[in-house]
Structure 1
Amino acid sequence: MWPMSNTRVRGAAAYWPAAGLLGRVDEADREILLGLGHGVVYPAGQIAIREADTSDYALLLLGGTVKVTAHAQDGREALLAVRMAGDLVGELAGIDGQPRIGTVTACGRVLARYILRSELLECTKQHPAIGLALSASVVAKLRTATGRIVDFTGCDVLGRLARILHHLAVIYGRPGRNEAQLPLSQPEMATLVGAAESSIHKALRALRESGAVVTGYRRITILDLDHLARIAVEAAPPEGVAAGPAGSPAISPNT
């Protein structure tokens, strides 16, 4: 982790997705949030928050992407979520002071504000609109986690992958655009979907052949969101046919 002098630096996002904390507040409250804590830079691969740690700071993401992971009882690592600019991560420990439930790792260069629990709580007391926005963002993550459980029931790997990619593109893509780019590797997609990598490889090939996506090293570009949405609906197996082979997807609203 490297210190950063201010928030107006190269690599910060040019806009804030509506689903993230920064996208839920007005300009005045956004400036207040951007003034909290101090700026930090995480290089690719660095752990920003570690599972089971008792630290209580939160990170307000300004640029880049992080992944949230946790270890299952059998030792396997599960990818719980992907978070991008505008999101607050680590807020559960920042609110209740309990140990971390996941590890946050930089997927590339990440810019953030490092905010102590005491400062975050004081901010929500002094600025009720920020507190409401924070609550709304946590609720949205919980709704997403619940929705994934419901959506994935009885859905094959292709359908589950299409739904995950569509959801992430809608949340983090530019408004009004029918395409988006996501920094996800095939192993990460496999853990998000709850499928074997070989199954993800086949599903991606089907999506590529349909013209919905193109893939590259650690990234997937969605070319047609509407087409992807149709695939997500149509790819469910016939009634009575079980879902994909590799178990349930990893689900968690937060860290």
Structure 2
Amino acid sequence: MRTTFSEKHIEALRKSGFRKTWPKGTILIREGERAESVIFLEKGLVKTTAQAPNGYTSLLAIRGAGELIGEVSCLDGRRRSATVTAIQDVAGIAITAERFLTLLNSDSELSFAVMRTISTRLRHSDGQRVASGAHTAGIRVARVLLDLVLQYGEPASDWGADVLQVNVTQAELAGAAGTSRESVVRALRELTRRELVATGRKRIVVLNVRKLHAYVT
């Protein structure tokens, strides 16, 4: 869920860390590691994934510019609960955990903004869990896809004006929707039949956002 910090907060974060870039495919945060820093994203998209004991990898979220990643582990002192990987070339501000905590202790407004961000993400996560029990797998896939394209959709210029795409694989979409890859294939086949989406290598094109919204509501 995209969150927004004020310019004052962003400037404070920038002054507390250093700018860094990560090429597409780079792991920024690895599950199980100690929390040594937080990252404020300024450009590009990352995916957050977690691996179950049986080896199944779930896509937990996609984050983009204007969002913090890694802050929860810095706050509670526990090891990383997920892996964060760049799905585009990414740029951001890396801040050491110690400096981040010092900054929060000295800036109550920023501290509240971070808490509000965490609360928003928890509410969104709760809503997704409720939806997973109330809808069919096909509708869950469509709802997750709509959510992703509204937050992080990019122009699909090869498909025409006002057409958006998201750079996720079918396996990642399955993880986000809490269903199997086979269910995602069936859901996308139905959405394609309705001329709502088109699929390509590591991307899904939403041909009509308004009609996709109507389909899931």
Interval containing the TM-score (normalised by the shorter chain): 0.7 to 0.9
> Which blocks of at least 5 consecutive residues in structure 1 are unaligned?
1-17, 234-255
Matches of residues 232-247 of structure 1 in structure 2 within 5 Å? 232-233=216-217
Measure, in 2, the Cα distance between the counterparts of 1:41 and 1:73: 31
Alignment partner of 1:153: what SS? helix
1:187 maps to 171
Q: Counting helix residues as a fraction of each chain, which structure ranks higher?
A: 2
Q: Does 1:209 align with 2:193?
A: yes
The answer to whether residue 19 in structure 2 is matched with residue 19 in structure 1 is: no
Higher mean alpha-carbon deviation, 158-167 vs 28-37, is at 28-37
Measure the CA separation in 1 of the matches of 2:163 and 2:69. Answer: 25
Task: State TM-score, norm by structure 1.
Answer: 0.75
Task: Extract structure 1 runs of 4+ deviating beyond 4 A.
Answer: none
SS in 1 for 2:16: coil
Distance in structure 2 (CA, Å) of the matches to 1:66 and 1:44: 9
Q: Please give the alpha-carbon distance, in whole angstroms, between the structure 2 residues aligned to 1:19 and 1:81.
A: 10
5 Å-filtered alignment, 1:22-33, equals 23-25=4-6, 27-33=7-13
Whether contact under 8 Å (2:23, 2:86) holds in the other structure is yes
Letter in 2 for 1:208: T
What residue ranges of structure 2 are gaps of 5+ in the alignment?
155-161
Aligned partners of 1:60 and 1:86 also within 8 Å? yes
Q: Distance in 2 between matches of 1:46 and 1:101?
A: 18
**Which residue does the alignment assign to 2:57?**
77
Partner of 1:59: 39
**Preserved contact between residue 13 and residue 95 of structure 2 (Cα < 8 Å):** no
User: How do 1:117-132 and structure 2 match up within 5 A?
Assistant: 117-132=97-112
Provide the secondary structure at the position in 1 that maps to 2:79. Answer: coil
Amino acid at match of 1:165: L
Most deviating of 49-58 and 194-203: 194-203
Rounded to whole Å, the distance in 1 between the matches of 2:191 and 2:116 is: 33
Alpha-carbon shift at residue 179 of structure 1 (Å): 5.6
**Residues 35 and 169 of structure 1: CA distance in aligned 2, closer, same or farther (over 3 Å):** farther
1:239 aligned partner? none
Q: Is 1:141 paired with 2:126?
A: no
| Equivalent pair of 1:158/1:232 in contact (CA under 8 Å) | no
Answer yes or no: is 1:164 the counterpart of 2:165: no
- The 3 A distance-change label for structure 1 pair 119 and 105 is same
Correspondence 1:34 to 2:11:
no
- Size of the alignment, in residue pairs? 211
In structure 2, the residue matched to 1:12 is none
Partners of 1:46 and 1:157 lie apart in 2 by 31
Q: Which amino acid aligns with 2:149?
A: A
Q: Secondary structure at the match of 1:188?
A: helix
CA distance in 2, matches of 1:228, 1:24: 30
